[in-house]
Amino acid sequence: MADILDYEDLNVPGPTATALSQPFWDAAAEGRLILQRCLACERAVFYPRAICPHCWSDALAWQEASGSGRLRTWSIIERSAHPAWQAVAPYAIGIVALEEGPTMLSHILGDRDGFALDAPMRVRFVMVAGRSLPFFEIST
Amino acid sequence: MRHGLGAIVGVGELTPQRSTEGATTLGMIAEVARRAVMDAGLEPGAVDGLLVGPHVGETPQHVPATVAEYLGLKPSMANVVDLGGASGAGMVWRAAAAISAGMCETVLCVLANTREAVPPRSPNRNPIREFDVPFGASGANATYAMIKQAHMATYGSADADFALIAAAARANAQHNPEAIFFGKPATVEDVLASPMIASPLRLFEIVMPVAGGSAVVVTSMERARDMQRPAVAVLGAGEKVTHRALSQVPSLTSGPLKPAMARAMAQAGVMADQFDLLSLYDCYTIMVATTLEDLGVCAPGQFGAWVRAHGLGHDGDAPLNTHGGQLGFGQPDLAGGMTHVVEAVRQLRGSAEGRQISNAELALVTGNGATMSEASALVLGAWT
Ligand SMILES: [Zn+2]
């Protein structure tokens, strides 16, 4: 398993931020996970959008997220489809259902023996090629 | 004659190849189109509708016009169908609908691809590129591995259950000389011994990408009757698109094929246990497992017991992907989905040489695109 420091040296593609999503990545740079919340139907939204995908309201506001969630599924990548990621293979990715409702895909850290359906997860920001990204790990 | 939405009167296919040097997509489209139209016994001028896929390497835009011009066609209906692996089945329904709407009479549905030794990297700027790729999730293997993992974690399904599907595909490919794995069978043990790519997905559970092409010709039931040639009726169709990125999937253990198949079967007035052939999209073993469960031939989580209980060859009691499926035939990109249509037409016309199902009257064809995102289902019937 890759040491956490190994990620800093990876030459992997970073996020292709847009003007709309930039606040999410700016917050990540400060070690904060934020989500949009719809002011009309009150549901949380991820990934960032111009309108709420539930009710189509355009009244969306950024809110601090709890950073907690549960593991929905995962995979240990032995052979990455992206050559630059192969340097830290095998590594784990997974889908995390955030406490606020939305699901997001992320890199998963920690003891793989603990990977299980609905395992409790906690966000952990990791520097990858100079960018702070919201990874997740099993919360104990 | 059964009541149908339309009829498939011709099919064409190219032999899959691992790579092509110097070939053009347009050239391959032309060759497979010629085969399908000749198979229908039609003159090129009879084609007045054209459906193509989005991946014509030489041209990012104006794809239908570029293909029409190359083929010397002047269609009165031309369009791109961009549903990934569901494009083939999706084309057939659109062709029938366009004919019913009076847009045209006879539609060529064609998909083909070249394959370079080093494929160009994707220029995507979509949400997947922004929110999935930066975390190390590139390519389809990673996403289908997570779908398989969810099935195993939810139902306790075993690796050997999935390996059975891959082994059955390889076994069926031994009856199809065109298949990339013809002459290369694989046992359950072979599948389980193949390298882990993205856990729990192993190499032999993943389609081999190839160059190739696949085309069908669709016309009205009336015109098909007048042609007095072997034809297959489109008895029902269904479609559903639920998401693109796996992170946005509504369910990891049931997909959009469930409502698509239900609609197609309701329209055709048939039940899941009536099919003589299941021609199910199989980019990965997990896709067949989920489709069988969504179809309802077994309970959720129980595909393994179902596969063990049935013979999946052309001479078995539940023929499944008799051409070898894409797991045995190879996946010629978007045309891979169309191979399931072509095989169903062959079986229902009684022209599946060396692997003919006896008295094949009813087939289910499924297409699946992206990450269990785009679904298309067809119920096809023999011309009786
Ligand atoms: Zn809303």
Name the residue ranges covered by the structural domains of chain B: 6-117+207-382
> What is the average pLDDT across B325-349?
98
Share of chain B above pLDDT 70, in %: 97
> What is the average pLDDT across B349-369?
97
Q: Is B242 exposed, middle or buried (0-12, 13-18, 19+ CB in 10 A)?
A: middle
- Cut 0.90: pTM above it: yes
| Domain A66-140 bears CATH identifier 2.60.120 | no
With residue B144 as reference, give the H or E element that holds it.
helix B139-155
- Using an 8 Å Cβ cutoff, are B295 and B307 in contact? no
Partners of B250 on chain A (C-beta within 8 Å) are none
In angstroms, rounded to a whole number, what is the distance separating the alpha carbons of residues A85 and A57?
38
Q: What is the mean pLDDT of chain B?
A: 95
Residue A4 has pLDDT above 80, yes or no: no
Residue B141 has pLDDT above 70, yes or no: yes
DSSP 3-state helix, strand, coil percentages of chain B (rounded to 5)? 40, 20, 40
Count of C-beta atoms within a 10 Å radius of residue B93: 22
Q: Helix (H) and strand (E) counts for chain A?
A: 1, 8
Backbone angles phi, psi at B252, to 5 degrees: -90, -10
- Using an 8 Å Cβ cutoff, are B341 and B90 in contact? no
Partners of B201 on chain A (C-beta within 8 Å) are 75
Q: Residue ranges of the domains in chain A?
A: 18-65, 66-140
- Using an 8 Å Cβ cutoff, are B77 and B107 in contact? yes
In angstroms, rounded to a whole number, what is the distance separating the alpha carbons of residues B112 and B33?
9
Q: What is the DSSP letter of B370?
A: T
Pick the CATH number of B6-117+207-382 from 2.60.120.20, 1.10.579.10, 3.40.47.10, 3.40.190.290: 3.40.47.10
Residue B123 has pLDDT above 90, yes or no: no
Residue B82 has pLDDT above 50, yes or no: yes
- Report the residue of chain B nearest A14, measured CA to CA: B134
What's the pLDDT score for residue B106? Answer: 98
- Using an 8 Å Cβ cutoff, are B117 and B209 in contact? no
What's the pLDDT score for residue A140? Answer: 76
- From first CA to last CA, the distance across chain A in angstroms is 19
Coil, helix or strand at residue B217: strand
* Amino acid identity for residue B263 in this structure: R
What's the pLDDT score for residue B122? Answer: 66
> What is the average pLDDT across A111-126?
96
Backbone angles phi, psi at A107, to 5 degrees: -80, 135
> What is the average pLDDT across B116-142?
85
- Using an 8 Å Cβ cutoff, are A75 and A93 in contact? yes
Q: How close is the nearest chain B Cα to the Cα of A16, in Å? A: 5
pLDDT in tens, A16-67: 998 999 999 999 999 999 999 999 999 999 999 989 999 999 999 999 999 9
Note whether B165 contacts A: Cβ–Cβ < 8 A: no
Strands (DSSP E) found in chain B: 6-13, 49-52, 77-80, 106-113, 196-198, 201-202, 212-219, 232-241, 277-279, 362-369, 374-382
C-beta atoms of B137 and A116 within 8 A: no
> What is the average pLDDT across B269-276?
98
Residue by residue, DSSP assigns A14-39 as -----TTTHHHHHHHHTT--EEEEET
Residue A95 has pLDDT above 60, yes or no: yes
With residue B175 as reference, give the H or E element that holds it.
none
Residue B1 has pLDDT above 50, yes or no: no
What's the pLDDT score for residue A2? Answer: 59
Which of A97-106, A115-124, B111-120, B170-179 is predicted with the least confidence, judged by mean pLDDT?
B111-120
What's the pLDDT score for residue B116? Answer: 81
**Ligand 1 mean position, distance from CA A47 (Å):** 14
In angstroms, rounded to a whole number, what is the distance separating the alpha carbons of residues B296 and B240?
17
Residue carrying the six token digits 């990540």? A28
- Using an 8 Å Cβ cutoff, are B53 and B82 in contact? yes
> What is the average pLDDT across B341-356?
97
**Ligand 1 mean position, distance from CA B207 (Å):** 40
Which of A107-111, B57-61, B225-229, B354-358 is predicted with the least confidence, judged by mean pLDDT?
B57-61
C-beta atoms of A81 and B142 within 8 A: yes
Smallest Cβ–Cβ distance between B134 and the set A14, A77, A91 belongs to: A14
Which of B2-11, B91-100, B112-121, B329-338 is predicted with the least confidence, judged by mean pLDDT?
B112-121
Please name the residues in contact with B108: beta carbons below 8 A apart, sequence gap of 6 or more. Answer: B33, B36, B37, B47, B49, B50, B51, B73, B215, B217
User: Any idea how long chain A is?
Assistant: 140
